[in-house]
Structure 1
Amino acid sequence: MIFICTMRSAILLLFLPLTKAFSLQASSSARPSTSLSAYNEVDRRSAILQGSTTAGFALSSLLLSPNEVSALQDYDDSAKKRILITGSNSGIGMDAAQRMALRGHEVVLACRTLNKANEAADKIKTMIANDADDAVAAISTIKSLKLIPMECDLADLSSIDTFVKQNSGAKFDAVCYNAGIARNTEAKDVARTKQGFELTVGTNHLGHFYLNQLILPSIKDNGRIVVTASGVHDPDSPGGAQGVPATLGDLAGLEKAAAGDGKFDMVDGGAFNADKAYKDSKLCNVLFTRELQRRLDEKGSNIKANCFNPGLIVVSLTKRGQFTKPLLGTGLFRDQNQLFTKVFDVAATKLLKVGETTHWGGGALEYMTLSSNVGKQGGMYYTSPPGSSKYGEDAFGREFKLSQVSKEAKSSDDGKAKRFWELSEKLVGV
């Protein structure tokens, strides 16, 4: 009983500074909630299949209600696309991969190891089978899926080299830089990538930066680049205001690393802080997106790069209310205390209603990648008020929409983002 009370007190203390800020944000766009029959069904709210088989259409009709179909009308699946998703073995990456594969698109599952990529493909097929009411239609649909498991370890530049070489000659309609890690906030040691970069920024930013530099020629001229960022990049947001806020300062850490052995602890040159390192990496994602679009525009490219905030996603629940960390839980919290993570998730999603489901986050990634409402302009940031998953698919384009980046990200357009790009080039050797 003492433990339960202590845990409850800890949760309340953790959220107390957040509650007012969250409620103020949410109230600005509050409207009646649409009905959701399950807390986080993987397939039923988005698995519309635009394939040519009769079984495919049969399964899509079983998985979607008329209202849900109408919410997806801005997706044109007539021309099948080739889509790359990093970090597609868990969380929103896996959910988005399932959504888009069910639409008939070819999805490259780029994961840290080939084994994880193969497991991701198998899990997607298993979830489709488990959620279907028609076994014949499910079997036909699973056979029609175009899932390509591949290894791409973003913490090792040589692995990225190999991945790009294996895709030589192939064109992508969209690439989604989604993978991300967040170390335990109490971590004191500086973990590093294969090349010696601080692990969080080295993976979340530099790994994707290097991949982008190599794969950019393989993206179709009217293609899209989607970057999974986070609201914590902004110190003025509820999540970003907690703990040590994100700031890249004058890039002293990267400057020193680029002039020396390439190693850095923090981008701003300060002492290592695991929580800040993650927030900084998300700020890096935003700067990268904006500077990338500026460079694409200078070259006259029609490629559009945008980033988004999927919201606070901890772990997911099945229809029966069981935790499903192996299948659906976001990998970001793998290094945290698991008991606390589960309690944190219940508090965020059930009590304060500021958390989002993995399925909704996957829908946000799908929306950024496929929606005709996105891609007309680049360098943009999309987000929504906390708890928008309660609106289901109807939130995309309404609650989930264009927003402002942090003050530091915006001010960096004056030259800091350009220098940040140049230092990133030096560190990865391109």
Structure 2
Amino acid sequence: MEEVLNEIPDTNIELTPAECDLASLVSIKNFVSTTLKEENSLDVVCYNAGIARNTAASECLRTKEGFELTVGTNHFGHFYLNQLILPKIKQNTGRIVVTASSVHDPDSPGGAQGSKATLGTLEGLKRDGNMFEMVDGEKFDADKAYKDSKLCNVLFTRELQRRLDKDGTGIKVNCFSPGLIVGTGLFRDQNPLFTKVFDIAATNLLKVGESVHWGGGTLEYMILDKTVASKGGLFYTAAPGSGKYGDDAYGKQFAPAEVSKEARDDAKARELWELSDKLLGASSSA
């Protein structure tokens, strides 16, 4: 935090560290009731946390309330947090930014590798409740679980924007893909040696990976750019390796793009929302 403050010329800015474990509904609720207790309004909220299990993992790990860990954290954790703090965002017509990924699309370069994202008919949520292994009702697949969670993020963005528009709030919510950034905590569950070698190869040799600086820049752009604030329900991304263009890429190479066919299914987005709301209500009161 001191390093961040040293880079900011305005010394009146205050940073407050806080713990919020998105794999625990209790932790999320405590975060909102303590850290955000004195905040009457919020200008910008970024749903940026995420985990990706080792793709070779076969055991279905779970959150504190029993949800499959990856979808439970990346989708349900953010969904619950949003439900709790949305009134504060509405007080100031704030902006909401969701970190998704291009791998939600099975036709994208990353999404086409390995297992492909699909939520099917949401049978897992309907049949098994919070004890689902996969949203589509199939057996646990660590690779697919991450991609499914990113598909959930896109559907969540679109449905949240629809609801906000219906209420006439003026709030804009958009999602984005920062690209393949190996050098972050997202890959902490992978083999360390493989991760290091893959990072060098993807970023320096294959030119498909991005730097942490680029990833931070995409988030900053989503937070501050006036164009992003003018229209909601969109997905921003750039072609692999666009980081080579530097900061000039934001708004040019990094721009709104089409999402997958399944991510454009508004009926599925509404059903996912309703099921998520129902399951979280049951789990948070248990």
With the length of structure 1 as denominator, give the TM-score of the two structures: 0.63
Greater radius of gyration (CA):
1
Paired position in structure 1 for 2:185 = 331
Give the AA of the match of 1:392: G
1:191 maps onto 2:92 in alignment:
no
Paired position in structure 2 for 1:48 = none
Contact 1:221 1:301 in 2 (8 A): no
1:385 maps onto 2:242 in alignment:
no
Paired position in structure 2 for 1:242 = 113
Of the three residues 222, 225, 244, the one matched with 1:371 is 225
For residues 7-406 of structure 1, the aligned pairs below 5 Å read 121-122=1-2, 124-125=4-5, 128=6, 141=9, 143-166=11-34, 167-170=36-39, 171-219=41-89, 220-258=91-129, 262-315=130-183, 330-406=184-260
- 1:217-271 CA distance string (max 9 Å, x none): 001442100000000000010000000100000000011133xxx2110000001
Q: Deviation of residue 428 (structure 1)?
A: 0.8
Give the AA of the match of 2:207: K
- Aligned partners of 1:176, 1:230: CA distance in 2, in Å? 14
Secondary structure of residue in 2 paired with 1:147: coil
- 1:134-178 CA distance string (max 9 Å, x none): xxxx8xx48544211111110000111111112134111010000
Contact 1:169 1:218 in 2 (8 A): no
Aligned CA-pair RMSD: 1.5
With the length of structure 2 as denominator, give the TM-score of the two structures: 0.94
1:416 maps onto 2:268 in alignment:
yes
Secondary structure of residue in 1 paired with 2:43: strand
Identity level (%):
65
- Aligned partners of 1:181, 1:149: CA distance in 2, in Å? 20
Give the AA of the match of 1:409: A
Give the AA of the match of 2:109: P
Q: Deviation of residue 212 (structure 1)?
A: 0.2
Give the AA of the match of 2:4: I
Contact 2:42 2:92 in 1 (8 A): no
Q: Deviation of residue 354 (structure 1)?
A: 0.9
Secondary structure of residue in 2 paired with 1:148: coil
Contact 1:201 1:277 in 2 (8 A): yes
Unaligned ranges ≥5, structure 2? none
Q: Deviation of residue 124 (structure 1)?
A: 3.2
Give the AA of the match of 1:303: I
Contact 1:385 1:399 in 2 (8 A): yes
Q: Deviation of residue 273 (structure 1)?
A: 0.5
Give the AA of the match of 2:247: E
Contact 1:266 1:272 in 2 (8 A): yes
- Aligned partners of 1:221, 1:296: CA distance in 2, in Å? 13
- Aligned partners of 1:200, 1:405: CA distance in 2, in Å? 21
Give the AA of the match of 2:278: K
Secondary structure of residue in 2 paired with 1:240: coil
- Aligned partners of 2:93, 2:55: CA distance in 1, in Å? 40
